[in-house]
Structure 1
Amino acid sequence: MTAPTVVVAGGGTAGHIEPALALADAVRRLRPEARVVALGTERGLETTLVPDRGYPLELIPPVPMPRKLGAELLRMPAKVRRSVRATREVLNRVGADVVVGFGGYVALPAYLAARGRVPIVVHEANQRPGLANRVGARLAERVAVAVPGTPLRGAELVGMPLRESITGLDRVGLRAQAREHFGLDQDAPTLLVVGGSQGARSLNEAVSGAATALGEAGIGVLHAHGPKNTLTVSAAPGAPAYVTVPYLERMDLAYAAADAVLCRSGAMTVAEVSAVGLPAIFVPLPHGNREQEVNARPAVRAGAAITVDDAELGPDWVAEHVVPMVADAGRLGTMSDAAAGLGHRSADRALATMVLEACCA
């Protein structure tokens, strides 16, 4: 049997790239001789994340989807055709046996280029699919979804593919090493703050503005503010460390260092936080189709998380709600236990099996 070539299309944000790379790793574990190639654009995070994980990256012209009617929408057909031609050239050159799309502006041209030529597998992370995956599902051999109730034809529930460093994380065993790595207090309850791959201003301002209240309560903070943002913190004298970083390259260590996390509720973030059993305060993005509110609901219903509207979040809310939560070890333990039953830890293997069946059956 010849070695298969799997092309993954999941560029743009970490929420699209990380499940694609988790799948790539799982394919390699099942078929070590397999070749995995990633599609991306020069403007996405894939230009650093993909090479760092050891996979070749092929760049294609992006097809950003406009949010409203206008001149940009009228220019879409030409942009799509140009990107599809470029993508088809890549698929031919690498000898693609299957295309796996994860949504977003890289997936759409991949689906259209593969149509009728190469088997397609779609993975949808959100309960409310975007345009690219709604199109892709109509062309696909198999359609995988991360959460039940996703309205795509032929959907098969597999869960969210996650890295083994996350699904196999021993938070307790790694805690001392993780806190030393970031320069955090070894004994203080610790809050992790993550605004997403580009940071989030409202999260940054709310938590940094409550630095004194957090410090006076004896709470340490690890705060990833985003590479495009800066953060000035005035902590209480003698308080546990409030550590700020632009970006977290070692999310496994960040999760191990923390007792709770305050973050957005993108599908990947919710899946990772639940998988490692970390109590969460989710702040759904206030725009789009409100999909992040939907993403957070299972964890909230299970008692593993709470949510707050972005407009309501502020330093006073953090002091009133987050400080007592993080300081309450019993409550955090109950929330962590509640997260244990969420998610699908073997989703990466299940999706990799589906992909290999689609191209090699």
Structure 2
Amino acid sequence: MTHSGLSVLVAGGGTAGHIEPALAVADALVVNHGAKVTALGTPKGLERELVPARGFPLELIDPVPVPRKPSIALLKLPFRVVKAVNQTRAILDKIEADVVVGFGGYVSAPAYIAAKLNKIPFVIHEANARAGMANKLGVRLGGIGLNAVENSGMKGQVVGVPISSSLAEQPSWEKRTAGFAKWGLDSAKKTLLVTGGSQGARSINNAMAECVEDIVGAGFQVLHAYGKKNKEPKTMPGYVAVPYIETMDLAYAVADLVVSRAGAMTVAEVTASGIPALYVPLPHGNGEQALNAMPVVDAGGAQLIDDAELTGDRLGESVIALLRDEDLRSHMVRAAQATGFGHAANEIADIVAKLAHK
């Protein structure tokens, strides 16, 4: 596509939770505004794989993690910040950036500081229910804040979570058929999709190992993304285990129920797809995962299981009860659809384009 002259730098490196919303907005900027979009990342993040696969140029800077305890690394932090900011300022000049959009993570703070120093407008999107330090810094520096939910601790308009356009709609029958074929699943059986991220899936994996025979024995089937860093589980007829799922649109298309952590992106994608969910919030951090899921839980589109209460018996009983209850799942589908989650990418792209034109 011939671009309109609008040059945008999106900063959201590190984890998929930062990268995917950045790429969703990048897609909307290209399609709706003819923008030229460049992504900012580090050599250590998942963006090295995800960004080129989506067709966007990737510029790299040194990562600037913030040490939690006093150390030599903490003493070196100011010098690392200055270096990363200077690297980012050079990139902004190189691509003749009109505007910067940040989504949190290691690369965002240098991006916000560099934009401020280069006198380029910038936008900050916070996907989680509790804002991170980098995004709070961005708003304090004068960036325009946008929140996924209310009361994140960061000033800004509430717009929701941007997700890929392929996930922001009800799955089609064609995708459902393709998903069954891809993983060798039985289209006549109800399907449970289980996921949780490379490290966050560990307790979910352990509980699944204890109850998967009961779930399969009850007449259901399971597609389980157990995480590349975790041990491969033993499979059986009706139980498909894979380290990672790249085509999540097909996975959601076959799912009648989802069991997962409650990252902001996951909640938005599952909700936009209209799939009932059992969320097991990651117990670490500041409790933001439970808060991410609460709007959908309160609406009746999902249920929560506390990680400390997650056992094979609890998970198996909950899954089997939901998959057997057609009326309850239908109610959960309608409740999820009514929340309006997952349609923020276009709105954010419009805000970015208007800011740049000003």
TM-score above 0.5, yes or no = yes
Residues in 1 aligned to 2:213 and 2:299: alpha-carbon distance in whole angstroms: 31
Q: Does the Cα contact within 8 Å between 1:39 and 1:58 map onto a contact in 2?
A: yes
Q: Cα offset for 1:183?
A: 1.0
**Corresponding residue for 1:316?**
313
Residues in 1 aligned to 2:9 and 2:177: alpha-carbon distance in whole angstroms: 39
Change (3 A) 1:287 1:330: same
Pairing 1:188-227 to 2, within 5 Å after superposition: 188-198=189-199, 200-227=201-228
Residues in 2 aligned to 1:104 and 1:137: alpha-carbon distance in whole angstroms: 15
Q: Does the Cα contact within 8 Å between 1:211 and 1:234 map onto a contact in 2?
A: no
Residues in 2 aligned to 1:204 and 1:141: alpha-carbon distance in whole angstroms: 40
Pairing 1:283-322 to 2, within 5 Å after superposition: 283-322=280-319
Change (3 A) 1:343 1:72: farther
Residues in 2 aligned to 1:202 and 1:171: alpha-carbon distance in whole angstroms: 32
Change (3 A) 1:201 1:141: closer
Q: Does the Cα contact within 8 Å between 1:126 and 1:295 map onto a contact in 2?
A: yes
Pairing 1:182-261 to 2, within 5 Å after superposition: 182-198=183-199, 200-233=201-234, 235=236, 241-261=238-258
Letter in 2 for 1:205: N
Cα shift readout 1:44-64 (whole Å, capped 9, x = no counterpart): 110010000000000110011
Per the normalisation by structure 2, the TM-score is 0.95
Change (3 A) 1:197 1:28: farther
**Corresponding residue for 2:260?**
263
Change (3 A) 1:186 1:268: same
Q: Cα offset for 1:288?
A: 0.7
Question: Comparing 80-89 with 316-325, which one deviates more in the overlay?
Answer: 316-325
Change (3 A) 1:272 1:2: closer
Matched, 1:281 2:278: yes
Letter in 2 for 1:245: V
**Corresponding residue for 2:181?**
180
Residues in 2 aligned to 1:250 and 1:2: alpha-carbon distance in whole angstroms: 31
Change (3 A) 1:199 1:286: closer
Q: Does the Cα contact within 8 Å between 1:14 and 1:197 map onto a contact in 2?
A: no
Residues in 1 aligned to 2:281 and 2:98: alpha-carbon distance in whole angstroms: 37
Q: Cα offset for 1:180?
A: 1.5
Q: Cα offset for 1:350?
A: 0.7
Q: Cα offset for 1:234?
A: 5.5
Pairing 1:20-39 to 2, within 5 Å after superposition: 20-32=22-34, 34-39=35-40
Aligned residue for 1:164, secondary structure, equals coil
Cα shift readout 1:24-71 (whole Å, capped 9, x = no counterpart): 000011222x21000001111100100000000001100112334444
**Corresponding residue for 1:136?**
138
**Corresponding residue for 1:158?**
159
Question: Comparing 136-145 with 89-98, which one deviates more in the overlay?
Answer: 136-145
Aligned residue for 1:340, secondary structure, equals helix
Q: Cα offset for 1:149?
A: 2.4
Residues in 2 aligned to 1:16 and 1:254: alpha-carbon distance in whole angstroms: 21
Count of aligned pairs between the two proteins: 355
Per the normalisation by structure 1, the TM-score is 0.94
Residues in 2 aligned to 1:198 and 1:169: alpha-carbon distance in whole angstroms: 29
Q: Cα offset for 1:252?
A: 0.4
Aligned residue for 1:12, secondary structure, equals coil
Residues in 1 aligned to 2:83 and 2:213: alpha-carbon distance in whole angstroms: 53
Q: Does the Cα contact within 8 Å between 1:122 and 1:140 map onto a contact in 2?
A: no
Residues in 2 aligned to 1:81 and 1:211: alpha-carbon distance in whole angstroms: 51
Question: Comparing 76-85 with 280-289, which one deviates more in the overlay?
Answer: 76-85
- Structure 1: any 5+ residue segments left out of the alignment? none
Residues in 1 aligned to 2:19 and 2:310: alpha-carbon distance in whole angstroms: 28
| CA RMSD, 1 decimal | 1.7
Residues in 2 aligned to 1:93 and 1:204: alpha-carbon distance in whole angstroms: 45
Residues in 2 aligned to 1:69 and 1:325: alpha-carbon distance in whole angstroms: 48
**Corresponding residue for 2:354?**
357
Q: Does the Cα contact within 8 Å between 1:121 and 1:140 map onto a contact in 2?
A: no
Residues in 2 aligned to 1:343 and 1:116: alpha-carbon distance in whole angstroms: 37
Q: Does the Cα contact within 8 Å between 2:271 and 2:342 map onto a contact in 1?
A: no
Q: Cα offset for 1:226?
A: 1.1
Aligned residue for 2:338, secondary structure, equals coil
Q: Does the Cα contact within 8 Å between 2:25 and 2:346 map onto a contact in 1?
A: yes
Question: Comparing 324-333 with 261-270, which one deviates more in the overlay?
Answer: 324-333
Q: Cα offset for 1:341?
A: 1.3
**Which of the numbers 128, 134, 138 marks the counterpart of 1:126?**
128
- Structure 2: any 5+ residue segments left out of the alignment? none
Residues in 1 aligned to 2:38 and 2:280: alpha-carbon distance in whole angstroms: 34
